[in-house]
Structure 1
Amino acid sequence: MSAATTGPEVQGTLGEAPPDKKRKKKDDGPITGKSPMQIAWGRLRRDKIAMLCLTVVFFFVLIAVFAGVIANAFNVTTETQFATEFIDVLNGNLPKIGPPLHPFTMEHPFGVAPASGDDNLAYWLYGCRTSLIIAGTSTLFAAVVGIVLGLLAGFLGGVVDKAISFVIDLFLTIPFLLAALVLAPIVNERFALSDNYASIQKFVLICILAFFGWMGLARLIRGEVLSLREREFVQAARVIGMPTRRILVRELLPNLAAPIVISISLMLPSFVAAEAGLAYLGIGVTDGISWGQVILKATDYFDTYPLYLWEPLLGIVALVLSLNLLGDAIRDAMDPKTRR
């Protein structure tokens, strides 16, 4: 039989594998979905400025937690027994050690305070702890109040919504600084002779900051809940007779994670700045250690000993700026539509 009469030839050579054999099977493993928080964290990790700010904030948190350990490692304390060893009485009570007037010494790395001879490093460490404790606790209390009232106002509606909205509007009309100037001295004077006066001052300041800091979050949560309560999953939960508390906690609250985290991240730096500002005005922590109190004392020596002022001031600026930039980055990561 000639070649012209033979059947169709098999394409390809004998040494060539069939096309389906050439395909490589890719083993990508099981396909898993990502939650909105995981997606946001992935975006945040790619933001170099956010990671730098997160590192700075973590640094200050470590300082606040281990302030006593760090102070012991440098052998510094907040109590100076022999101030005359470090203070030049004949030269305006300025320090005898430390820059810019004298050489650097590891005995007091940040120098000492004029007149009193207190170690600046010890006051800087414990001042950081005071600021973060007050700001963090105030933020926690304000967030809890704002979330609870916002959930109730948005979900229940009616008279409850009107009452809570009226309270929010009422508190927003009260100037925070004026209220703090009036309330803090009255309460502090009431407990002026107490043995725990410093702790009472911190508690009063926490209450004042939280008392006037929850309204923005409550209004935000209320608006979100007004939208979420009309969704199918909430309507289905109502139809099957799910209790209101469970709907709020199990159904609505997880869907409010993004606005809550964003609000808290922006609320914290404002409370850090407010604590230092109130202490500078003499109505915050006046009996304990605070960056604001150090700044108040340092203003009298700025011309002759500027280092005394710059140390706590730079600490506040670095902490507040890092928290603000981190809050903006968290907002952009959780809601890409807000990116500039």
Structure 2
Amino acid sequence: MALPAGDIAVHDETADASLEPEARKKIAGRSPTRIAFDRLRKDPIAVICFAIVLLFAVIALFADQINSLVGVNTEVVRASERVNLVTLLPLDGPPNHGFDPEHPFGVAPGDGTDNFAVWTKGCQTSLFLATMAAVLSTTIGVALGLLAGFLGGIVDSIISFMIDLFLTFPFLVGALALAPIINDRWATEPEKLRDVSFWALVAILTIFGWMTVARLVRGEVLALREREFVKAARVIGVPTRRILVREMLPNLIAPIIISFSLGLPAYVSAEAGLSYLGIGIIGRESWGRTIEQATPWWEQYPQFLLAPVVGIAVLVVALNLLGDAIRDAFDPKTRR
């Protein structure tokens, strides 16, 4: 860009060489993404929340190894070895006994399954499912938003109608209608039902989650397509696909990251809520299923319910605060 008269910059390599490394680093140009990540790094709330999310991610990735290290598993055991067959409460550990090092979170009443093993596997299920749903919904939303905003006309009208249509349909009603149908279809095949129920829930969350991203991306593209670099690319005959991928998409990184980071906790909560209602995952450990099983035992065995509830609460709050921090970091108008 041309400099105004009187402000002509003269590059002096000798002067640059005499600068200290830190000084040269300070004057070096930084991209908006680099500036945003620098702001995140200096934000204590973002750092703490990132550490918490990273801890949960490590637990989810290495759940089996952690359980082996602690010496626990989710296998069904003989109930009489761990619970009182009359009260169905654990023989050792909470709620009637002290801490049991062999079972850090105690055991489940009735069947005696180790709660720590169930908790780590539930973390794995919730995070994996939420991540898959967030990735798929973001990908679909970005693709449709790009096409709607850039092409306009009939394409924009059709995609906008689809966005409005899906936004008006209640998510819970759709989940209550679709999940039982899918689960009943595979009810006689437990092994397949385990995977089918998981991917069915991913599909349901994706189907009802892409619209917000698509609407956001469409609005950004409507503004970007009037910029000079896009008009110049169209004038010289650059293919539409190349314009979308090479010119538009890099300028949408900030809203995409923000949408993904704010959508992730919503999917974690949705998975737990649907599993609690009994229309979520079948055949896998889940925090929502644990809450459903633990609710009747709240008065006699509160620790059984607290473990998954605290896990969901801490993870969702950390993800939400991290998402807010990312949004503020990428917004040039904020000064937090």
TM-score after normalising by structure 2 = 0.92
Match of 1:104 among 74, 93, 99: 99
Q: Following the alignment from structure 1 to structure 2, what is the Cα–Cα distance between the partners of residues 165 and 105?
A: 57
Q: Does 1:255 align with 2:251?
A: yes
AA aligned to 2:115 is N
- Mapping of residues 117-196 of structure 1, within 5 Å: 117-194=112-189, 195-196=191-192
What is the Cα deviation at residue 26 of structure 1? 3.9
1:226 aligned partner: 222
- Aligned amino acid, residue 77 of structure 2: Q
Residue equivalent to 1:264: 260
8 A contact 1:280–1:296 mirrored in 2: yes
Shift of residue 239 of structure 1?
0.7
CA contact (8 A) 1:153 1:160 kept: yes
2:48 pairs, out of 41, 52, 77, with 52
Alignment partner, residue 68 of structure 2: 72
Cα pair 1:138 1:207 within 8 Å, conserved: yes
Structure 1 distance, partners of 2:302, 2:266, is 26
Is this contact kept in 2: 1:184–1:204, CA < 8 A?
Answer: yes
Amino acid at match of 1:323: L
3-state DSSP class of the match of 1:242?
coil
CA–CA separation in structure 1 for the residues paired with 2:251 and 2:24: 29
* Conservation of the 8 A alpha-carbon contact between 1:331 and 1:338: no
**1:8 alignment counterpart:** none
Alignment partners' CA distance in 2, 1:83 and 1:73:
23
1:275 aligns with 2:280: no
Runs of 4+ in 1 over 6 A off after TM superposition: none
Q: Deviations over 1:133-165 (max 9, x none)?
A: 110000011001000000000000000000100
- Which whole-Å CA distance do the structure 1 matches of 2:271 and 2:332 have between them? 32
Give how far 1:338 is off: 4.8
Which one of the candidate residues 291, 299, 308 is aligned to 1:295?
291
Count the aligned residue pairs. 315
Q: Distance in 2 between matches of 1:336 and 1:306?
A: 46
Percent identity between matched residues is 56
SS of the equivalent of 2:162 reads helix
- CA shift, 1:339, in A, is 5.9
Q: Provide TM-score, normalisation by structure 1.
A: 0.91
- The structure 2 residue matched to 1:310, chosen from 306, 313, 336, is 306
Give SS of 2:238's match: coil
What is the deviation of 1:83? 1.8
Report if the CA contact (8 A) 2:290-2:305 is conserved.
yes
Partner secondary structure for residue 333 of structure 2: helix
Deviation per CA, 1:82-112: give whole Å up to 9, x if none: 221110122x201111123101121111100
Which residue in 1 is equivalent to 2:109? 114
Alignment-derived partner of residue 204 in structure 2: 208
Unpaired stretches in structure 2, ≥5 consecutive residues: 1-17
Change (3 A) 1:201 1:339: farther
**Contact kept in structure 2, 1:273 and 1:316, CA below 8 Å:** yes
Letter in 2 for 1:193: T
Q: What SS does structure 1 have at the residue aligned with 2:268? A: helix
Whole-angstrom CA distance in 2 between matches of 1:175 and 1:227: 30
**Which letter does structure 1 place at the counterpart of 2:114?**
D
Maintained 8 Å contact 1:149/1:164: yes
After TM superposition, the structure 1 stretch with the greater mean CA deviation from structure 2, 158-167 or 72-81, is 72-81
* Structure with bigger gyration radius: 1
Asked if the contact 2:77/2:113 (under 8 Å) is kept, the reply is: no
